[in-house]
């Protein structure tokens, strides 16, 4: 009778097993799609940051030490190579031990079952889900070899602290690839999957050591290592790699990179958190970190705006020859405020807009020696009922003398610049600014000369590239190429840049740059901020904003400082934004090998005495001055408070010897 019952039980078991095998063979196995971190690299191949749902870097079977595989099997599923996905003996053993303990102390799940669960199923506990798990487990065993299953499992499991898979865990805990692990490190990782939080060597080193030593004992018992190797490994202290410091403000940069990719490859941008892409950029990590550190040193006011430290700032550094972005910092701290002030903050540029006025005048064939009288002036309002526009210099004084373009730019004289705007025309200046790279709408009126129309830092930096690049406007970009997880190029070099368009005559850009170099000379608003190499630039100050944009032939940096809620700002472009600009420029020049290049005089420029002229406009003999260009009738008026929209900036007190002209 017993034999008969046993026979029927065997038959039923075989029928059930056959039925499950048939059902499993007919169960479609979804493709394996492990979420893999996408990594961002600078121009030298250094890691900037990662996007991930699960921070994972899959590795091949050959990269995983055989001893690690054996140790994990020993601790997680000792009969892994003997069963076909379901281990009846393991289930019975777990049931027996749980009953004796009066609680769950051991599970009967196999490595294959855990893999099926991790790859395809949600954590819900229902009968239908358990049936799916069983069928998928059997299907995995039918479709993959044991080594393939184990490799997938080791690339899938969680090791705590957002580390998924043995490679990421090895890098995170030990600062090395999984292929380089020592025996104590192998044993420590092999003991973690059971409870990653409890056995983390970072948070619970004592527990981690006890668990590691248990694994070493088991390995010695099973003959995987010798007793001597076990004892030597147990004598080693727990040693974990030093945590890499988070890169300052890289969140702004990573958001910008994602948006740049999305403009042409939205499908890649949408999968950055799981696609395992490698994005190689134009960023120089040394310059990026210097920019973030410089902004962090900006003094903090005692108040905040919406809980965010103030004043805030933004920095953008580029190579004007190519448009390659070298540093991108959109604020003090991304976690505190992810608002990107490089491209999303629209602010009045103040005097940083003035170069567009003088570029327009030069393009209209007025020479740099042409003058305007520095005296009170009034311009009609925008409508007959509107009050007149009365520009005022910063110090509320006038020289009542003719002032040439170079002096007007060096001292940032508002009255002279407004007079030039009246001569060349607001429409012409707005067209010039748009051609050079300003995309924001510009109000076509005389106050535009003093930067009353809001722009963002990114477009203002782009609009300065034709000045640094002898007339060529460079389109700014940061993505060089994109590869998939296997190293196949998805976005080749040259897709995003370089791109350059001729927008100015070389001579116009060269003469404007020569005039902007005077900003760093004695009496200029940036005196004391020189770099020891040929450099040109312009300060910008309004009641709420401080700007500094300056460049060499190989490096252009723009800085903005201000309160997010437009509160009045104590300080000027030269005193607030200028020191930050100088620190970033010095770091950028060092990264470039400190080039001392000067701009080569183009063929359409003629030097006569100390002045430069576009060919065909030079004087026939000696020093020449066109004299004052007619301006509207002067009309004295009380000076407005502050500098916006009609004041110039005070020259910065010298803090170091001026650069050589």
Partner residues linked to 39 by β-bridges: 50, 278
* Top-level class of domain 286-614: alpha beta
Say if CB 585 and CB 550 are below 8 A apart.
yes
**Both tokens of residue 28?**
């479609």
From-to residues of CATH 1.10.3810.10 in the chain:
1-30+64-147, 157-244
Is the model's pTM score more than 0.85?
A: no
User: Catalytic one among 38, 109, 250, 351?
Assistant: 351
pLDDT number for residue 102: 57
pLDDT for 433-491, tens place per residue?
999 999 999 999 999 999 999 999 999 999 999 999 999 999 999 999 999 998 999 99
* CA dist., res. 115 & res. 130, Å (int): 13
The answer, yes or no, to whether residue 402 has pLDDT greater than 50, is: yes
From-to residues of CATH 3.40.710.10 in the chain:
286-614
pLDDT number for residue 573: 95
Q: What is the percentage of the chain residues whose pLDDT exceeds 90?
A: 71
pLDDT number for residue 133: 75
**CATH 1.10.10.10 applies to domain 157-244:** no
**CATH 1.10.3810.10 applies to domain 1-30+64-147:** yes
pLDDT for 50-85, tens place per residue?
999 888 999 999 999 999 999 999 999 998 998 887
Give 507's pLDDT tier (boundaries 50, 70, 90). Answer: very high
* CA neighbours closer than 13 Å in the CB half-sphere of residue 485: 17
pLDDT for 110-120, tens place per residue?
999 888 888 87
Q: Which helix (H) or strand (E) holds 516?
A: helix 506-517
76 has catalytic annotation = yes
pLDDT for 515-543, tens place per residue?
999 999 999 999 999 999 999 999 999 99
Number of H helices, E strands in the chain: 20, 20
Kindly report the number of other CB atoms within 10 A of residue 659's CB atom. 16
Identify which of 513, 512, 660, 652 has the alpha carbon closest to the alpha carbon of residue 582. Answer: 652
User: Catalytic one among 76, 289, 544, 643?
Assistant: 76
The answer, yes or no, to whether residue 279 has pLDDT greater than 90, is: yes
């Amino acid at each position: 009778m017993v034999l008969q019952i046993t026979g029927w039980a065997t038959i039923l078991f075989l029928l059930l097993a056959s039925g499950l095998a048939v059902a499993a063979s007919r169960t479609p196995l979804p493709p394996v799609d492990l979420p893999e971190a996408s990594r961002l690299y600078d121009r030298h191949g250094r890691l900037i940051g990662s996007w991930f749902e699960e921070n994972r870097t899959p590795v091949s079977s050959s990269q995983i030490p055989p001893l690690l595989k054996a140790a994990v099997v020993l601790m997680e599923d000792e009969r892994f190579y003997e069963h076909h996905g379901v281990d009846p003996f393991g289930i019975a053993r777990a049931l027996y031990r749980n009953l004796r303990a009066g609680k769950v102390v051991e599970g009967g799940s196999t490595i294959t079952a855990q893999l099926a669960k991790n790859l395809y199923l949600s954590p819900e506990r229902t009968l239908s889900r358990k049936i799916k798990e069983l069928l998928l487990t059997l299907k995995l065993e039918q479709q993959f070899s044991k080594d393939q299953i184990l490799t997938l499992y080791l690339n899938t499991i969680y090791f705590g602290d957002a580390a998924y898979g043995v490679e990421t865990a090895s890098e995170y805990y030990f600062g090395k690839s999984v292929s380089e692990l020592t025996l104590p490190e192998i044993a420590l990782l092999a003991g973690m999957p059971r409870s990653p939080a409890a056995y983390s060597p970072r948070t619970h080193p004592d527990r981690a050591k006890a668990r590691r030593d248990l694994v070493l004992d088991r390995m010695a018992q099973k003959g995987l290592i010798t007793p001597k190797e076990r004892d030597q490994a147990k004598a080693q202290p727990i040693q974990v790699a030093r945590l890499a410091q988070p890169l300052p403000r890289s969140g702004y940069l990573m958001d910008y990179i994602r948006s740049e990719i999305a403009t042409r490859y939205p499908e890649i941008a949408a999968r950055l958190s799981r696609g395992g892409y490698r994005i190689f950029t134009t960023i120089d990590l040394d310059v990026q970190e210097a920019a973030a550190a410089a902004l962090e040193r900006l003094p903090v006011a005692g108040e905040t705006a919406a809980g965010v430290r103030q004043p805030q700032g933004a920095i953008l550094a580029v190579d004007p020859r190519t448009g390659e972005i070298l540093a991108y910092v959109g604020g003090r701290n991304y976690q505190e405020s992810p608002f990107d002030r490089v491209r999303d903050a629209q602010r009045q540029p103040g005097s940083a807009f003035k170069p567009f006025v003088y570029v327009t005048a030069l393009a209209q064939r007025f020479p740099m020696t042409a003058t305007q009288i520095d005296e009170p002036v009034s311009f009609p309002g925008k409508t007959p009922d509107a009050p007149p526009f009365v520009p005022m210099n910063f110090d509320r004084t006038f020289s009542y003398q003719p002032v040439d373009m170079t002096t007007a730019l060096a001292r940032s004289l508002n009255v002279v610049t407004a007079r030039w705007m009246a001569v060349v025309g607001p429409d012409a200046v707005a067209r010039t600014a748009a051609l050079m790279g300003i995309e924001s709408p510009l109000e076509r009126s005389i106050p535009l000369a003093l930067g009353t129309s809001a722009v963002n830092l990114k477009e203002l930096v782009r609009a300065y590239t034709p000045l640094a690049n002898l007339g060529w406007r460079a389109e700014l970009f940061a993505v060089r190429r994109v590869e998939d997880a296997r190293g196949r190029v998805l976005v080749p070099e040259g897709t995003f840049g370089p791109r350059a368009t001729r927008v100015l005559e070389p001579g116009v850009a060269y003469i404007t740059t020569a005039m902007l170099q005077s900003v760093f000379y004695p009496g200029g608003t940036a005196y004391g901020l020189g770099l020891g190499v040929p450099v040109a630039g312009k300060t910008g100050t309004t009641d709420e904003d401080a700007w500094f944009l300056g460049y060499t032939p190989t490096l252009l940096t723009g800085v903005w400082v201000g309160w997010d809620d437009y509160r009045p700002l104590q300080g000027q472009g030269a005193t607030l934004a200028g020191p930050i600009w100088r620190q970033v420029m010095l770091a950028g020049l060092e990264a470039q090998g400190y080039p001392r290049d000067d701009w080569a005089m183009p063929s359409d420029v003629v030097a006569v005495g100390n002045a430069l002229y576009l060919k065909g406009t030079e004087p026939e003999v000696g020093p020449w001055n066109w004299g004052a260009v007619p301006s509207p009738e002067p009309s004295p008026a009380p000076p407005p408070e502050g500098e916006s929209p009609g004041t110039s900036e005070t020259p910065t007190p010298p803090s170091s010897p001026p650069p050589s002209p």
